[in-house]
């Protein structure tokens, strides 16, 4: 598929509204290099914003109405900013929920009309919903001429997802979509929300490997994992698992039941690995970064139990290629995508051979592509 760009979305707007758009905004999806299921434990994550995004072209309206046409769904949606009603499902609720969250924080919004289009695959674990929320937030701030500050906006996007859409996610997806830096990953401390842009090891590339498997029950499994982490934090009498060191875990974890102990072991180990991975990147150590990604996958598969067969096979296929430094599942899990760190020179061969091997072994279709790290939400 041809990637979306400003011209495409501008011409969609003109076709629809018969005049020029005043702004075009984009907010990217993300892939997480390492630091999985750590954000809601106040821990560390290391994602990058990718060159797949949600785009909105818009112009202000004189009233308080928001009228959006979704190119992907071929559907019109509209609502009144003074009377927001939750209709429970559909793409428009992400836009509406973001309006609700921004207004709740005291911001005065303006009406606008626009077209919306995205090329972040849905349900693949690449944060299409966070991208939509942050694109909406960027559109609302543009239309009302409000300043754009990525961190508070990410928090408002997360609030929309938690309280309007009803998904209990952490802060990673919205924050990387809001604050990503081109050509860098972002080390995020999910407690302080401090971020540091970290460069990729020279000569490496990041590949996304979509297994084409999707699982519906992610929400309940996700909430169950969160509850297990909270139980473990109570056991250690800390605010969050972020506060438990590996040493303390080794000394005291025997008092936990087997499942809770393994969940906590994943989170505590993953936090350490993520900090170490950022350090490896700063030093340009691709081999170490790759090893840490491999360990992360094993931990998510065996201790956190959020992988699936397709992801495990995809990761094995990727690792078999000589140009692969490391591979792991990425995102919440139970299907969706894996991520691999590869030798940039071998990228084309890696993509071809890994996709072939996966399809041969599973009989499933796959989509493997190299992605570029881009900026977070912006007016383009
Ligand atoms: C989903 C959530 C994130 C994070 C990841 C797992 O993407 O939205 O907040 O918890 O799962 O790392």
3-class SS string, the chain: CCCCCHHHHHHHHHHHHCCCCCEEEEEEEEEECCCCCCHHHCCEECEEEEEEEEEEEEEECCCCEEEEEECCCCEEEEEECCECCCCCCCCHHHHHHHHHHHHHCCCCCCCEEEEEEECCCCCCCCCHHHHHHHHHHHHHHHHCCCCCCHHHHHHHHHHHHHHHHCCCCCCHHHHHHHHCCCCEEEEEECCCCCEEEEECCCCEEEEEEECCCCCCCHHHHHHHHHHHHHHHHHHCCCCCHHHCCHHHHHHHHHHCCHHHHHHHHHHHHHHHHHHHHHHHHHCCCHHHHHHHHHHHHHHHHHCCCCCCHHHHHHHHHHHHCCCEEEEEECCCCCCCEEEEEEEHHHHHHHHHHHHHHHHHHHCCCCEEEEECECCCCEEC
pLDDT over threshold 90, residue 216: no
Kindly report, residue by residue over 87-101, the tens digit of the pLDDT.
988 999 999 999 999
List of long-range contacts for 102-108, beta carbons under 8 Å, 24+ apart: 102/137, 102/140, 102/141, 102/156, 104/159, 105/152, 105/156, 107/140, 107/144, 107/146, 108/144
In this structure, are residues 339 and 32 in contact, taking their beta carbons and an 8 Å threshold? yes
Give the pLDDT score at 2: 72
Q: What is the arithmetic mean of pLDDT over 171-190? A: 98
Q: What is the arithmetic mean of pLDDT over 138-143? A: 98
Closest ligand 1 atom to residue 38 Cα is 12
Which listed residue (173, 219, 257, 303) is catalytic?
Answer: 173
Which of 198, 230, 263 represents a domain boundary (last residue)?
A: 198
pLDDT over threshold 90, residue 219: no
pLDDT over threshold 70, residue 170: yes
Give the pLDDT score at 215: 78
The CA-based angle 128-119-183, given to 5 degrees, is 80
User: Does residue 268 lie in a domain region?
Assistant: yes
Which of 198, 216, 235 represents a domain boundary (last residue)?
A: 198
Which of 156, 173, 198 represents a domain boundary (last residue)?
A: 198
Q: Does 173 participate in catalysis according to the annotation? A: yes
Which residues lie across from 252 on neighbouring strands? none
**If phi over 0 gives left and psi between -120 and 50 gives alpha, with beta otherwise, what is residue 119?**
alpha
Tell me the CATH number at 80. Answer: 3.30.230.10
The β-bridge relationship of strands 378-379 and 337-343 is: unpaired
**Per-residue tokens: 193:** 């929300």
In this structure, are residues 131 and 29 in contact, taking their beta carbons and an 8 Å threshold? yes
Is any atom of ligand 1 closer than 6 Å to the C-beta of 173?
yes
Percent of the chain topping pLDDT 70: 99
pLDDT over threshold 70, residue 68: yes
Percent of the chain topping pLDDT 90: 96
Give the pLDDT score at 3: 84
Kindly report, residue by residue over 322-332, the tens digit of the pLDDT.
999 999 999 99
Q: Are residues 191 and 276 in the same domain?
A: no
In this structure, are residues 312 and 80 in contact, taking their beta carbons and an 8 Å threshold? no
In this structure, are residues 52 and 126 in contact, taking their beta carbons and an 8 Å threshold? yes
Q: Are residues 193 and 310 in the same domain?
A: no
Is any atom of ligand 1 closer than 6 Å to the C-beta of 300?
no
Q: Are residues 221 and 157 in the same domain?
A: no
Q: What is the arithmetic mean of pLDDT over 112-134? A: 96
User: Does residue 377 lie in a domain region?
Assistant: no
Expressed in angstroms and rounded, the spacing between residue 174 Cα and the centre of ligand 1 is 10
Q: Are residues 159 and 265 in the same domain?
A: no
Max CA separation in the chain (angstroms): 68
Give the pLDDT score at 133: 98
Expressed in angstroms and rounded, the spacing between residue 10 Cα and the centre of ligand 1 is 32
Closest ligand 1 atom to residue 45 Cα is 12
Is 0.75 topped by the overall pTM? yes
**Through-space distance between the first and last CA atoms of the chain, rounded to whole angstroms:** 21
| Total domain count, the chain | 2
Give the pLDDT score at 289: 99
pLDDT band (50, 70, 90) for residue 1: low
Distance CA 278, CA 108 (A): 39
Kindly report, residue by residue over 154-164, the tens digit of the pLDDT.
999 999 999 99
Q: Are residues 176 and 208 in the same domain?
A: no
Q: What is the arithmetic mean of pLDDT over 39-48? A: 98
Q: Are residues 134 and 262 in the same domain?
A: no
pLDDT band (50, 70, 90) for residue 217: low
Q: Are residues 157 and 245 in the same domain?
A: no
User: Does residue 225 lie in a domain region?
Assistant: yes
Domain region containing 360: 204-371
Q: What is the arithmetic mean of pLDDT over 290-312? A: 98
Q: Are residues 344 and 225 in the same domain?
A: yes
Summary mean pLDDT of the chain = 97
User: Does residue 1 lie in a domain region?
Assistant: no
Tell me the CATH number at 326. Answer: 3.30.70.890
Is any atom of ligand 1 closer than 6 Å to the C-beta of 334?
no
User: Does residue 376 lie in a domain region?
Assistant: no
Q: Are residues 179 and 222 in the same domain?
A: no
Q: What is the arithmetic mean of pLDDT over 91-112? A: 98
Q: Are residues 283 and 245 in the same domain?
A: yes
Q: What is the arithmetic mean of pLDDT over 48-53? A: 98
Expressed in angstroms and rounded, the spacing between residue 157 Cα and the centre of ligand 1 is 14
Is any atom of ligand 1 closer than 6 Å to the C-beta of 303?
no
Is any atom of ligand 1 closer than 6 Å to the C-beta of 36?
yes
Kindly report, residue by residue over 333-350, the tens digit of the pLDDT.
999 999 999 999 999 999
Expressed in angstroms and rounded, the spacing between residue 167 Cα and the centre of ligand 1 is 10
Q: Are residues 187 and 235 in the same domain?
A: no
């Amino acid at each position: 598929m041809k990637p979306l760009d400003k011209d495409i979305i501008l011409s969609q707007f003109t076709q629809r509204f018969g005049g020029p758009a005043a702004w075009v905004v984009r907010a990217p999806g993300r892939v997480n290099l390492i630091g999985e299921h750590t954000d809601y434990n106040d821990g560390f994550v290391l994602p990058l914003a990718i060159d797949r995004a949600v785009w909105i072209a818009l112009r202000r309206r004189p009233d308080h109405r928001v009228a959006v046409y979704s190119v992907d769904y071929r559907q019109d949606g509209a609502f009144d900013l003074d009377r927001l009603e939750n209709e429970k499902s559909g793409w428009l609720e992400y836009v509406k929920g973001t309006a609700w969250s921004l207004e709740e924080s005291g911001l005065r919004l303006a009406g606008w009309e626009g077209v919306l289009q995205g090329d972040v695959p849905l349900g693949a674990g690449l944060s299409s919903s966070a991208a939509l929320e942050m694109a909406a937030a960027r559109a609302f701030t543009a239309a009302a001429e409000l300043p754009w500050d990525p961190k508070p906006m990410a928090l408002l996007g997360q609030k929309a997802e938690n309280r309007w859409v009803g998904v209990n996610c952490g802060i990673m997806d919205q924050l990387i979509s809001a604050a990503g830096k081109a050509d860098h990953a972002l080390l995020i401390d999910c407690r302080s929300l401090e971020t540091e842009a970290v460069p990729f090891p020279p000569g490496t590339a990041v590949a996304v490997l979509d297994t084409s498997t999707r699982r519906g029950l992610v929400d309940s499994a996700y909430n169950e994992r969160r509850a297990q982490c909270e139980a473990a934090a109570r056991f250690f009498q800390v605010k969050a698992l972020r506060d438990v060191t590996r040493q303390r875990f080794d000394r005291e974890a025997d008092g936990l039941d087997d499942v809770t102990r393994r969940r906590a072991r994943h989170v505590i180990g993953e936090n350490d690995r993520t900090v170490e991975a950022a350090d490896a990147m700063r030093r340009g150590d691709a081999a170490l970064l790759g090893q840490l990604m491999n360990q992360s996958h094993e931990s998510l598969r065996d201790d956190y139990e959020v992988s699936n067969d397709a992801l495990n096979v995809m990761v094995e296929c990727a690792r078999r290629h000589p140009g692969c430094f490391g591979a792991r599942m990425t995102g919440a899990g139970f299907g969706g995508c894996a991520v691999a760190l590869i030798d940039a020179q071998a990228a084309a061969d890696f993509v071809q051979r890994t996709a072939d091997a996966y399809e041969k072994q599973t009989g499933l279709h796959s989509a493997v592509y190299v992605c570029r790290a881009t900026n977070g939400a912006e007016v383009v």
